[in-house]
Copies of this chain bind each other. A is one copy, B any other.
Amino acid sequence: MSAVARAAQVSPATVSRVLNGAPTVNDTHRERVLAAVAELNYRPNRVGRNLRRQRTSMIGVVVSDIENPHFNSMVRVVEQVAYREGYRVLLCNTDETPAKQREYLEVLEDERVLGVLLSPSDPGGPEIAALLDMGIPVVAVDRPVEDARADAVVVDNVAATRTGTDHLIERGHRRIGFISGAVEVGTGKDRLEGYRRAVAAVGAEPLVAVGGFRVEGGRRACAELLAAHPDLTALMVANNLMTIGALDELRRTGLRIPAEVALVAVDDPPWARFTEPPLTVLAQPVREMAEGAMTLLLERIEGRRSEPRQLVLPLELHVRESSAHTLS
**Which B residues touch A72, using CB under 8 A?**
66-67, 72
Interface string of A85-111 (1 = CB under 8 A from B): 000111111010000100000110111
Name the residue of chain B whose CB is nearest to the CB of A69.
B69
Please give the distance in Å from A111's CB to the nearest CB on chain B: 5
Determine the distance from Cα of A98 to Cα of B172 in the docked complex, in whole angstroms: 55
Interface 0/1 of A221-254, CB less than 8 Å to B? 0000000000000000000010010011001000
A75 within 8 A of B: yes
Q: B45 to A112, Cβ gap below 8 A?
A: yes
Residues of A within 8 A of B (CB): 41, 43-48, 50-51, 56, 58, 61, 66-67, 69, 72-73, 75-76, 79-80, 83, 88-93, 95, 100, 106-107, 109-112, 130, 133-134, 215, 241, 244, 247-248, 251, 269-271, 273-277
Query: Which residue of chain B has the shortest Cβ distance to A111 in the bound complex?
Result: B46
Cα distance, A273 to B248, chains bound together (Å): 8
List residues of chain B with CB within 8 A of the CB of A92.
Answer: 79, 88-89
Secondary structure type dominating chain A contacts? helix
Residue of B47, B247, B270 near A244 (CB, 8 A) is B270
Contact at B273–A274, with CB atoms within 8 Å?
no
Given contacts A73-B67, A89-B90, contact A112 B46 (CB under 8 A): yes
Q: Which residues of B contact A56 (CB under 8 A)?
A: 47
What is the distance, in angstroms, from A46's C-beta to the closest C-beta of chain B? 4
Residues of the B chain whose Cβ atoms lie less than 8 Å from the Cβ of A133: 41
**Given known contacts A48-B51, A83-B100, A215-B270, A88 and B107 CB-to-CB distance under 8 angstroms:** yes
Report if A93-B76 is in contact (Cβ < 8 Å); known contacts: A43-B106, A247-B274: yes
